[in-house]
């Protein structure tokens, strides 16, 4: 089953909330309480998004997180890779086949690779502004 992990869901929820704040800082505590996200997991998600330069953190009493790039410059793939690594639908799409006993005899490697390529393109082409908002709701900083 292809689905986003909780880390990716929490990351997307956080980025959307922060985006709606239009440049104002948001605390991890605010996000955790608003969306009922476990604080320890959310902290790791936010730190990873910061490390990968999708968010910035401001330290101190009035600190928090804010987005440092336009949502149009952040792809869905950027968030997924930051939090989970690349999406791979089958072992053979990793390219090696090391952990697949059917790799040498499989008859669906080529169609699965085509699907993988289309999925990668979908995730890389979809920016967060398009993912989150309708045309009339777009957010700019």
> What are the tens digits of pLDDT across the range 99-130?
778 878 888 888 989 999 999 999 999 999 99
Look at residue 23 and tell me if it is in a domain. yes
pLDDT of residue 96: 64
128, 75 contact by CB (below 8 A): yes
Q: Is residue 113 part of a domain?
A: yes
Token look-up 């985006």 returns 19
User: Could you tell me which residues are beta bridge partners of residue 56?
Assistant: 66
In a domain, 104, yes or no: yes
Q: Report d(CA 137, CA 52) in Å as an integer.
A: 26
Query: DSSP state, 26?
Result: B
The better pLDDT of the pair 22, 83 is held by 83
pLDDT-derived band at 71 (thresholds 50, 70, 90) equals very high
Strand partners, 55: 67
Residue 75 has pLDDT above 80, yes or no: yes
The whole-number pLDDT of residue 77 equals 97
38 domain-assigned: yes
pLDDT for res 104: 80
Helical H segments across the chain, by residue range: 6-20, 28-35, 39-51, 76-84, 109-125, 128-132
Say what the pLDDT of residue 136 is: 64
Residue 1 lies in a domain: no
Split at pLDDT 50, 70, 90, the class of 62 is confident
Number of domains present in the structure of the chain: 1
Provide the CATH number for the domain around residue 23.
1.10.10.10
The answer to whether residue 141 sits within a structural domain is no
Do the domain assignments include residue 129? yes
Domain that holds residue 63: 6-135
Overall residue count recorded for the chain in this entry: 141
C-alpha closest to that of 81 among 22, 4, 133: 4
The pTM for the full model equals 0.87
Burial 41-68 (b: 16+ CB within 10 A, else e): ebeebbebbeeeebbeeeeeeeebbbbe
The predicted pLDDT at position 16 comes to: 95
Q: Choose between 7 and 92: higher pLDDT.
A: 7
Q: Residues 14-60: pLDDT tens digits?
A: 999 999 998 889 999 999 999 999 999 999 999 999 999 999 999 98
**Is residue 37 in some structural domain?**
yes
């Amino acid at each position: 089953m292809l689905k986003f992990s909780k880390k990716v869901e929490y990351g997307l929820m956080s980025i959307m909330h922060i985006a709606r704040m239009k440049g104002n800082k948001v605390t991890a505590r605010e996000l955790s309480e608003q969306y009922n996200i476990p604080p320890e997991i959310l902290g790791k998600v936010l730190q990873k998004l910061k490390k990968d330069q999708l968010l910035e953190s401001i330290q101190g009493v009035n600190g928090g997180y804010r987005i440092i790039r336009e949502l149009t410059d952040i792809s869905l793939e950027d968030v997924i890779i930051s939090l989970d690594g690349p999406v791979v639908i089958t072992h053979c799409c990793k390219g090696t086949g090391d952990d697949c006993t059917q790799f040498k005899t499989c008859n669906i490697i080529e169609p699965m690779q085509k699907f993988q390529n289309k999925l990668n393109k979908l995730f890389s082409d979809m920016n967060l502004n398009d993912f989150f908002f309708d045309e009339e709701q777009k957010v700019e900083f």
